[in-house]
Amino acid sequence: MSDQKLDVQQEHQQYIEPLGDWARSHDCCTLTAADTGAEVCLMGWVQYRRDHGGLIFVDLRDRQGLTQIVFSPDVNPAAHERAHVIRSEYVLAIRGTVRPRPEGMTNPGMKTGEIEVYVSEWKLLNTSKTPAFVIEDRTEASENLRLQYRYLDLRRPRMANNFIVRHKAAQATRRYLDELGFLEIETPYLTKSTPEGARDFLVPSRLNQGQFYALPQSPQLFKQLLMMSGMERYYQIVRCFRDEDMRADRQLEFTQIDIEMSFVDEEQVMAMAEGLMARVFRDALDREIATPFPRMSYDDAMARYGVDKPDTRFGLELQDVTHIVRGSNFKLFATAELVKAMRVPGGETMTRKEIDEFTEFVKIYGAQGLAWIKIRPDEWQSPIAKFLSDAERAGLKEALGLETGDIVFFQAGAPGMVNAALGNLRVRLGEHLGLIDENAFNFLWVTDFPLFEYDEEEKRYVACHHPFTSPKDGHMDVMVENPAAARARAYDMVLNGYELGGGSIRNHTAEKQRRMFAALGFSPEEAEAQFGFLTQALEMGAPPHGGIAFGMDRLAMLLTGSSSIRDVIAFPKTQKATCLLTQAPDNVSARQLRDLGLRLRETGKEAAPKAPASTDTPQG
């Protein structure tokens, strides 16, 4: 019964002792045979207890690792006797002697496996209820439980290591940028809501009732203002906030390495960024990264990979075959705006079931279906083979370099859908077929981004990067005549298919910036009201400047091989934007609302305080 368990743990509380003047001499991962004979003091948590009645072995865990400690009646009978109460996750302080393990008793699987510490005296610093799940890497508790008992989850070595690596990456960043003369400067969290971009988090103002601050989506405007302030080189490892739906690699609040430089062009920013990555990978993972990184234009990326953040760890490139099938008897191909193909070498052995799965997969992106051709020695096996003329077959074979044993997938329709469907199918196939080297870090710059993209909802062009990005030389005029063709002085750093960072050279004259606002459909009055402080600053000696920002969480995720940024954020939120540990967000008192001049709209469901998830849920 759970009552029994509770009783045991409660009964053991009488043995808890204060720390007194004890101090740790080592952590639980450093002792070796070279320390034989040393008197040491260790403190940590009980990972495993192996009570033999006579001898008691305990694996003591701290942030760094494990050390086996031994309670023996031969060393201190009283200390040994007391040790029978020890349970999982109890917190111990021990003093003892380092001894080499007896012949044949070493544990090569353990960093400290050649030694053990014989306990001469020990203190129980705290007891522990039986944890909701065992603290170890190999048993995965559900994410639900892990988030509810996050402090237990973070004790797992894998998680602890994630934060060690993340810390090293952050420290490497600070060292590198400091050496290059960057100043770490803080910017406001309570700031002004601006149009464009993500949904803002708003904070009501008590002293200015009816008005709101916005939490920054990024410190973009402030870092540019710091350039206008003559700071020349700025950086900040800074929290950003965007009230949008979450994904495995997106949280409401996330951390950017935010950087801005004066008197530079793209080349200097990119070289600085490559050096930063090289330093981070060296200091955090002891890995050397080759620089400079390869580059690819946005148009090339979309043409060859269907996405603007290609994973270049494997092939399976896309090809435009529209011109080959233009006159086809297959009506869909003949009339589609874009027809693209992806050749999968050796894919002829795919089963109908697999193909059906991929067909379902591309429907997510709006595809109606998925055409395919298996290249067999004797024939082309395909639902669409009968529509293809000899000339079309020859054209496809030549263009795609088809060989016996291949399968080719086709997607036809609107370019956005075709690229999304095939581009994402490509990644899925890369995983499915095991084409991805999990050990590789493939960096890539994507350049020459469009300045604008058309927003179907708003029926107007919006900035692809952000409204402060400078058009490429000569594109100021293109911008007006043909907005879709204008290109920006923007660049994204891509790593293994993730957008790791992005930046641009900014407009540094007020005139250019005003033309940009006009192109985005702002009236001069609107531009003045929203961004007047910026254009005014640009009129007072703004230097040429540009910068970049990296997703710190994504960087840490990739450095640690994690599959979600939640594994590198200490206290993340769920997909429904709640914190299972603290139960945030929660209702507030009528008094708090009154102070802010706010009244809640009637919603039908009464705002009652949330019940705790269970009696075990920590409160206060």
Interface positions, 421-440, toward RNA (CB under 7 A): 424
**Scanning residues 488 to 507, which ones bind RNA (CB under 7 A)?**
none
Are 422 and 340 a contacting pair, CB within 8 Å? yes
| Contacting residue, 133, 189, 212, 498, with RNA by CB under 7 A | 133
Nearer of residues 195 and 383 to RNA, judged by Cβ: 195
Bond prior to 100 in cis (omega within 30° of 0): no
Secondary structure letter of residue 329 according to DSSP: S
**Scanning residues 205 to 244, which ones bind RNA (CB under 7 A)?**
217-218, 220, 242, 244
Nearer of residues 116 and 553 to RNA, judged by Cβ: 116
Q: Choose among 307, 270, 314: nearest CA to 501.
A: 270
Nearer of residues 304 and 573 to RNA, judged by Cβ: 573
Strand partners, 229: none
347 lines the binding site for RNA (CB under 7 A): no
| Contacting residue, 17, 32, 54, 524, with RNA by CB under 7 A | 54
- Measure the CA–CA gap between 497 and 286, rounded to whole angstroms: 22
| Closest distance to RNA from the beta carbon of 618 (Å) | 15
Nearer of residues 424 and 509 to RNA, judged by Cβ: 424
Secondary structure letter of residue 451 according to DSSP: S
Please tell me whether residue 364 adopts helix, strand or coil conformation: coil
Q: Choose among 479, 505, 492, 496: nearest CA to 447.
A: 492
Q: Choose among 447, 173, 189, 107: nearest CA to 310.
A: 447
Are 610 and 586 a contacting pair, CB within 8 Å? yes
Span from 22-30, 164-172, 333-341, 573-581 in contact with RNA (CB under 7 A): 573-581
| Contacting residue, 17, 39, 74, 184, with RNA by CB under 7 A | 74
- Measure the CA–CA gap between 218 and 239, rounded to whole angstroms: 8
Side chain identity, residue 323: H
Q: Choose among 271, 279, 282: nearest CA to 178.
A: 279
| Residue 409 burial by Cβ neighbours in a 10 Å radius (0-12, 13-18, 19+) | buried
* Per-residue contact flags (x/-) with RNA for residues 80 to 109, judged by CB under 7 A: -------xx------------xx--xxx-x
Span from 135-143, 261-269, 278-286, 534-542 in contact with RNA (CB under 7 A): 135-143
Span from 36-44, 178-186, 384-392, 457-465 in contact with RNA (CB under 7 A): 457-465
Q: Choose among 572, 495, 575: nearest CA to 254.
A: 572
- Measure the CA–CA gap between 115 and 344, rounded to whole angstroms: 53
**Scanning residues 513 to 552, which ones bind RNA (CB under 7 A)?**
none
| Contacting residue, 53, 434, 604, 609, with RNA by CB under 7 A | 53
Span from 37-45, 195-203, 317-325, 474-482 in contact with RNA (CB under 7 A): 195-203
| Closest distance to RNA from the beta carbon of 52 (Å) | 4
Nearer of residues 218 and 319 to RNA, judged by Cβ: 218
456 lines the binding site for RNA (CB under 7 A): yes
**Scanning residues 365 to 384, which ones bind RNA (CB under 7 A)?**
365-366
- Measure the CA–CA gap between 187 and 189, rounded to whole angstroms: 7
137 lines the binding site for RNA (CB under 7 A): no
70 lines the binding site for RNA (CB under 7 A): yes
Q: Choose among 67, 70, 71, 72: nearest CA to 32.
A: 67
48 lines the binding site for RNA (CB under 7 A): yes
Nearer of residues 105 and 183 to RNA, judged by Cβ: 105
| Contacting residue, 33, 198, 271, 584, with RNA by CB under 7 A | 198
| Contacting residue, 247, 323, 460, 594, with RNA by CB under 7 A | 247
- Measure the CA–CA gap between 45 and 49, rounded to whole angstroms: 11
Nearer of residues 21 and 457 to RNA, judged by Cβ: 457
Residue 15: both structure tokens together = 């043995």
| Closest distance to RNA from the beta carbon of 337 (Å) | 17
| Contacting residue, 140, 184, 337, 595, with RNA by CB under 7 A | 140
Compute φ and ψ for 505, nearest 5 degrees: -90, 135
- Measure the CA–CA gap between 509 and 543, rounded to whole angstroms: 9
**Scanning residues 6 to 35, which ones bind RNA (CB under 7 A)?**
8-9
Span from 248-256, 284-292, 338-346, 479-487 in contact with RNA (CB under 7 A): 248-256
What stretches of 184-297 show up as alpha helix (H) in DSSP? 220-228, 266-285
